[in-house]
Structure 1
Amino acid sequence: MKTQETNQYLLTSGDGERKKLDVNFWLVSIIALMLSVAVYMIAFLFRTSFFGVLLYDRGITQYLVIYLASIVIALTVIKLVKLQQEKSALRRSWVPQSVNFDNPQSRDLLVLQKNLAKQNKLLAIRCSRVIGAYIQSGSRKAAAELALDDSSFYLSASESSYTFPRILVWAIPLLGFIGTVVGISQAVNGFSGFLEQAGEIEQIKEGIGTVTSGLAVAFDTTLLALLLSVLVMIPLVLVERMESRLLLRIDIYLNDVVFPRLKERGEDLDYDGINNSIRQAFKEYLPTPESLIEPAHAYAKQAAQSLSQSFIFEVENLQTLSSKLIEQMEQLNQMNLQEKSKFLETLEQQLNVNRELSQSMISEIQKIKPVLEKLSKPRIITFTDSEEI
C-alpha cells in the first residue's frame, strides 16, 4: 500500500526549473531593440542639439553602441526583477513545523514535496529537490549531497549567465575606438583633399569643415562608448553581487531550516536491543572464561618449565666458558712470568759483558798511557841527506 502511495505522488524534483534565474536571450534582444528605438525617437525631438547630433550624425557605430548597451540594460533589469522576486520568497516559511520528517514515506511529506515542486520560486524548488532526495533514499546524507550539487550548479550557472553581458561591456569601448579610427581616417582624407584644392577661400572653408567633422566623429564615438560602458557596467556588477548573495542565503536556509529536520539512517535504532543481541551471541558462540583459564594455566606452566630448563642450560654453558677462560688466563700469566725471567737473565748477562768490556778497556788504556806521555813531550827532528852520508 505504501509503495502504491509513493508511486501516486511522483517525486517532481524540479529538474526543468534548475535554470530559474536564466534570462531568455530573444526576450532581451526584443526589449533592447525597443529601447534603442525609443532612445532614437527621443533624440529625434532634439535633432539639432548636441544629443541629436551625437546619435544621428556620428556614424553607424553609434547605433551599434546604443543597441549593445540596451541589451546589457535589459538583461540587468530582468535579472534585477527576478532577484527581487526570489528575495521576497525568503521571507516565507516553505517547510511547516507541522510536517513530520521521521518517516520519509509519510503522506504529508510526499504532499509537501509535490506542492513545493509546483511553486515558481527558486527556494521552493531547492527545498523540493532536497526533500525528494530524502524521500527516495531515506538518508540525510544523500539529501545533503544533492543540495551541494545544486549549489555548485547554480553558482556555475550564475557565472556563465554574466559572461555574455561582460563581453558586450567589453565590446562597447571597442566600437567607440573603431569609430575613432573611422573619424580620424575621414579627417586625414579631407585634409589631403584640402591641400590639393586649396586655391580659393570657399574651398579652404569646405576642406576645413571636412577635417573638423571627421575629428568630431572620432571624439564623439569614443565619448559615447566610454560613457555607456561605465553606465551599464556598474549596475551589472551590483546585480551579479546580489545574485551571489541570494544563492548564499538559499544555502543557509537549507542548512538551518531543512537539514536539521531530516533523519539519518540508523539514528533511531534500538541500541539496547542491539547490545543485548551481541551479548547473547557472545554467550552462545564464545567459550566461557573458566574454560579459557585452565588451558592458559597449563600453557603458562609448560612455558615456565621450558624457560627454566633453557635458562639452566645456558647458565651451565656460561660456567664452562668461564672456567676455560680462567685456565687460559693462568696459562698466559705463566708464560708472562717465564718470559720475564728470561728477559731478566738476558739483561744481567748483558750487564756483565758490558762490565768486563769496560774493565778491559781501562786496563788497555793504562798500558798505553806511558807511551802517550812520551809522545806528548817535545822532540827535535833532524833531516839528513843520504848522499852526504
Structure 2
Amino acid sequence: MAAGSSSCSKNLRLLHDRLKNVCALSIVMTASSPISTTTAPSLTPVPVPRRDLTVPLWLALAIAAVATVILYIFFLPLQGTYLGQLLLNRGWTQPVAVFFAWTVLGFTILKAIALFQQTPSLRQIWIPANYPFTTMRDILQLQQTLAQRRTLLPNRCARVLGAFLSSGQREIAVEAAAEDSGSAAAATDASYTIPRVLVWAIPLLGFIGTVVGISQAVSGFSSFLETAQDVNQIKEGIGGVTTGLAVAFDTTLVALVLSVLAMIPMVVVERWENRLLLQIETYINDQLLPRLPVTNTTAGVDRETLQQVIQETIRRELPTQERLQKLLDNLNQLADAVLGDRQQFVATLEERQQQSIQQFERLVTQIQHSQGELLAQVNQEQTAIAQQLRQQSQYIAQLLAESDRTLQQRLQLLETLNQALQALADTGNLQLLLDRLNDTLGHLQPVLRQLAQPRRVTLVEQPSSLDGGDRPM
C-alpha cells in the first residue's frame, strides 16, 4: 500500500506539472494584456558531464598479476619453509586465491587513492556565503567556474546549477540533485560487485582445495594398500596420505586468511566512499539549493482570466473522480503484486541459502567421517604390522636357540673325539693318523671359537667335513 501511495503521489505530481504547463500556455494565448515571465533563462549553461568515482578494473588485474608473480618468485628459494610449502606445494588453488586477493587489494588501493584525492575538496569553500544569486548571469558565472574543476563536489554543484539555468525553477534543480545522488550511489555499489564476488570466491577455492586434497589422500591410501609388501612401502604410502591431508587443510587456511585480509580494507574503503557521497549530498542540500531564487511565473496576469483558464483546463484535462479511483486501485494492485513478488524472491533466496548451508554441513560431516575412517584403518594396519614383526622376531629367536644347541652338541662331540685320539696316541697306535687329526683340530679350533660366540643371525644347517670324517670311525 505504501508503494502504491508513493506511485500515485508521483503520478499526481506529474499531472500537476502538466497542468501548470497547460495553464501557462493558455494564459499566453488567451490573455488580452501582455504577460511578463521570468521562466526562460537568458543565458545558456555550460554542459557538465557526470563524474563518478570509478576505478579501472584492468589496472587492478594487472597489479594483481605482477604482485602474484613477484610473490612466488620471492618464495622460490624458500620452498623448505612453512610459508613456501603453503604457497608452492599445495595445488593449483593457492596461486588463484592469491591472484584474487591481490586483485581485491589492488582495487581497494586504487579506490583509496581516488578518495584521498577527493577528500580535500570537502574542506574548500566553493560557494562563498556572500555570493549573489540575484541574476542569471551571476549563477552562470558560478556554474562556469565550478564546471572547470575535476573533483566530485564542484562537478555535482555545476550540474545542479546547469539544471536551474536550463529550467529557471528550483524544483527542477532539486530533482536533478536527487537524480545525481542516486546515480552516484548506484555507480558506487556497482563498482564493488566484482571485488565482492572475488572475496566470496577465495574461501570457495579453499574448500575446493580441501576436497581435492582429501580425494588425493583417500585414493593414494587405497592404492598403496593394494600393493604394499613391506614396511618401507607402507611408510611411503602413509607419507602420501599425509601429503594429501596437508593440501586439504592448508588450502582452506590460506584461503580464509586471504579473504579476511582482502575483505577488511575493502569494507573500510567502501564506508569511506559512502561517507564522501553523503557529505557531498549534504553540502548541496544545505549550501546550494536553499540559496537558489524562486521565480514568479504569474506576475502581471489578470486574475479573472487566470481563474477562467484554470477552470477550463481542469474541466478538460483533469480526469474524473472515478478515473482517479480506478487508477489508484490499479496502482494498489500493482504495488501488491510487486510486494508479493518481492516476498517470494526473498523466500526463495532464503531457501537457497539454507540449502547451501545444509550442503556445506553435509560436506564437512563427510570429510570428518572419511578422516575418522582413514585414521582407524591406518591404526589397524599399524597394529597388524606390529604383530607380524613380533612373530618374526620370536621365530628368529627360536632358530638362534636351536642353532646354539646344535653347536654345543658338536663341540661336545669334538671334545670326545679329542679324548679318544689322545688315548690312541698314548697307546702308540696309529701315530701318523693322530698327527694328521691333531693338525686338523688345530685348524678347526679358531673357527669353532668364532662360531661359539652369540650372534643374531639366521643359520642354515649343512653337512660339514667333520660329519664325513666321523662315519669311518
2:131 is the counterpart of 1:119: no
Aligned counterparts, 1:301-380, within 5 A: none
| Cα distance in 2, alignment partners of residues 59 and 209 from structure 1 | 17
CA distance in 1, matches of 2:207, 2:161: 54
Distance 1:83 1:45 in 2: 38
**Letter paired with 2:65:** L
Query: Are 1:30 and 2:87 counterparts?
Result: no
Q: Which residue of 1 aligns with 2:95?
A: 63
Match of 2:447 in 1: none
Give 2:257's match in structure 1, choosing from 211, 227, 232: 227
The Cα RMSD (Å) is 2.6
Cα distance between partner residues in 2 of 1:86 and 1:163: 22
Structure-2 residue corresponding to 1:47? 79
Q: Answer yes or no: is 1:249 the counterpart of 2:284.
A: no
Q: Report the counterpart of residue 160 of structure 2 in structure 1.
A: 130
Matched positions, count: 268
Partner of residue 12 from structure 1, selected from 47, 67, 78? 47
Question: 2:117 & 2:164 partners in 1: Cα distance?
Answer: 27
The superposition leaves residues 145-190 of structure 1 with CA deviations (integer Å, 9 ceiling, x where unpaired) of 0000011111111111111111111111110011111111110111
Structure 1 residue 114, shift from structure 2 partner: 2.4
Contact 1:191 1:211 in 2 (8 A): yes
Which of the residues 169, 172, 175 maps onto 1:145? 175
Distance in 2 between residues matched to 1:44 and 1:51, nearest whole Å: 11
The answer to whether the 8 A contact 1:184-1:214 is kept is yes
1:377 match: none
Change over 3 Å in CA distance of 1:5–1:142 after alignment to 2: closer
**Structure 1 residue aligned with 2:122, among 74, 90, 103?**
90
| Rounded Cα–Cα distance in structure 1 between residues aligned with 2:48 and 2:171 | 17
Query: How far, CA to CA, are the matches of 1:212 and 1:145 in structure 2?
Result: 65
| Equivalent residues of 2:41, 2:167 under 8 A apart | no
Could you say if the C-alpha distance between residues 92 and 45 of structure 1 is closer, same or farther in structure 2, counting changes exceeding 3 Å?
farther
The aligned counterpart of 1:195 is 225
Preserved contact between residue 187 and residue 211 of structure 1 (Cα < 8 Å) = yes
Equivalent pair of 2:41/2:165 in contact (CA under 8 Å): no
CA distance, structure 1, for counterparts of residue 267 and residue 113 of structure 2 = 15
The code of the aligned residue for 2:284 comes to L
Aligned residues of 2:41 and 2:166 also touching (Cα < 8 A): no
Separation of aligned partners in 1, 2:42 and 2:70? 57
Q: Which residue of 1 aligns with 2:189?
A: 159
Distance 1:138 1:99 in 2: 19
Give the 3 Å change call, closer, same or farther, for CA 5–136 of structure 1 in structure 2.
Answer: closer
Match of 1:204 among 223, 227, 234: 234
Structure 2 CA distance, aligned partners of 1:42 and 1:220?
20
Contact 1:23 1:79 in 2 (8 A): yes
Q: Tell me the secondary structure at the aligned position of residue 148 of structure 1.
A: helix
Q: Which residue of 1 aligns with 2:469?
A: none
AA at the equivalent of 1:258: L
Cα deviation, residue 198, structure 1 = 1.5
Residues 26-82 of structure 1: per-residue CA shift (max 9 Å, x gap): 111101111212222332242211111110000110010000011111111111121
**Equivalent-residue separation in structure 1 for 2:221 and 2:198 (angstroms):** 34
Q: Which has the higher contact order (CA 8 A, sep 6+)?
A: 2
Amino acid of the structure 2 residue aligned with 1:36: T
1:239 aligned to 2:274? no
* Structure showing greater Rg: 1
Say which is worse superposed, 38-47 or 253-262, in terms of deviation. Answer: 38-47
Normalised by the size of structure 2, how large is the TM-score?
Answer: 0.53
How many percent identity over aligned positions? 48
Deviations 1:3-40 (A, max 9, x none): 99845xx512223x2xx211101111101111212222
Q: Which amino acid in 2 is paired with 1:120?
A: R
Aligned position for 1:217: 247
Query: What is the TM-score of this pair, normalised by structure 1?
Result: 0.64
Contact 1:76 1:239 in 2 (8 A): yes
What CA distance in whole angstroms lies between the structure 1 residues aligned with 2:175 and 2:121? 24
Which of residues 96, 99, 102 in structure 1 aligns to 2:134?
A: 102
Unpaired stretches in structure 1, ≥5 consecutive residues: 282-389
Match of 2:201 in 1: 171
Q: Which runs of 5+ in 2 are unaligned?
A: 1-39, 307-473
CA distances 1:346-366 after superposition (whole Å, capped 9, x unpaired): xxxxxxxxxxxxxxxxxxxxx
| Partner Cα distance (1:45, 1:88) in 2 | 45
